[in-house]
Amino acid sequence: MPKSREVEHNARVTVSSSSRRDELVSPDASRHRVSAWRDPRLVVGIALVALCALLGATLLGQGDGTVGVWATRTELAESQDVTAEDLVRHELRFAEQADADRYLPADQPVPEGLVLSRPLGAGELVPRSAVGAGTPEQSVEVPLSVPSDSVPSTVGVGSSVDVWVVPDRELDARTVQAEAALVLDDVRVVELARLGGGLGGTRQVVVALDRAQEDTLPSVLARVAQGVVVLVRTP
């Protein structure tokens, strides 16, 4: 074969081989990118943010749960007239609405003609039971010795209680089947002190009787001497 034809033939073979190699080479792989909005982590994050915002708005809508009640600015004496100048508003949070109802509410003006039925210390919350209209009725104070476990933990100075007497088995075995008796109805606690210490101790509770109840005092003392006193708190 002449040299010129051999060169031309080799050139054609080279070009043909290069073309085949180009055909056999795979094109560059292209990565499929997932849209950011389809990322599960982003979706979960947005949902959490929305939930937190909803909870925050709900809590703000419910308020802080505090109740306004009146408290004394200074010490106030028994039988003293009470005016708005003697009181200051306190915002407090109570565990139960019944606890808040025990005190004079501050969501309305102080009523005119209020008079204290017992003394109050400076900064003390004003119980409803400690105020009344007009001149307070004179009362008789009666001390009672009450077992510690027969005094409700919610009873304090100013509380209203019923006084019951339960037959004492140790005093008279014949009274075991006797029923408890209500000896005083809706009396006010004016003093509460512990007499004995430890379990099984007693507490001295002083209650105030009005003039109508004073007439029953002899029979009340007789019943108290024959049994065990139990206090029941009344609204």
How do residues 17-45 score in pLDDT, each as one tens digit?
Answer: 545 555 545 555 455 555 555 666 666 66
**CA 85 to CA 112: how far, in whole Å?**
12
Both structure tokens of 206: 């002083």
What percentage of the chain reaches a pLDDT higher than 90?
Answer: 23
Strands 140-147, 202-209: pairing is antiparallel
Distance, CA of 100 to CA of 26 (rounded, Å): 82
pLDDT (mean) for 69-88? 88
Could you tell me where the beta strands, DSSP code E, fall in the chain?
67-72, 81-82, 87-92, 114-116, 131-133, 140-147, 160-167, 181-194, 202-209, 227-234
Looking at residue 11, its pLDDT comes to: 47
Better pLDDT: 51 or 214: 214
Query: Quick one: DSSP state of residue 154?
Result: T
Mean pLDDT of 4-21: 50
* The two three-digit tokens of residue 150, written as one number: 């027969």
pLDDT of residue 51: 73
* pTM, full prediction: 0.45
Q: Which residue has the higher pLDDT, 185 or 52?
A: 185
Domain limits, the chain: 67-133, 140-234
pLDDT band at 66 (very low <50, low <70, confident <90, very high): confident
Pairing of strands 87-92, 181-194: unpaired
CATH fold, domain 67-133, is Type Iii Antifreeze Protein Isoform Hplc 12 (3.90.1210)
Of the listed ranges 15-29, 76-90, 181-195, 221-235, the one predicted with least confidence: 15-29
Per-residue pLDDT band for 89 (boundaries 50, 70, 90) equals very high
- Is it the case that residue 61 has pLDDT exceeding 60? no
pLDDT at position 9 over 70: no
Evaluate if residue 212 carries a pLDDT over 70: yes
Instruction: For residue range 100-143, list pLDDT tens digits in order.
Output: 888 989 988 888 878 887 888 899 999 988 887 654 455 788 99
130 Cα distance to chain centroid: 23
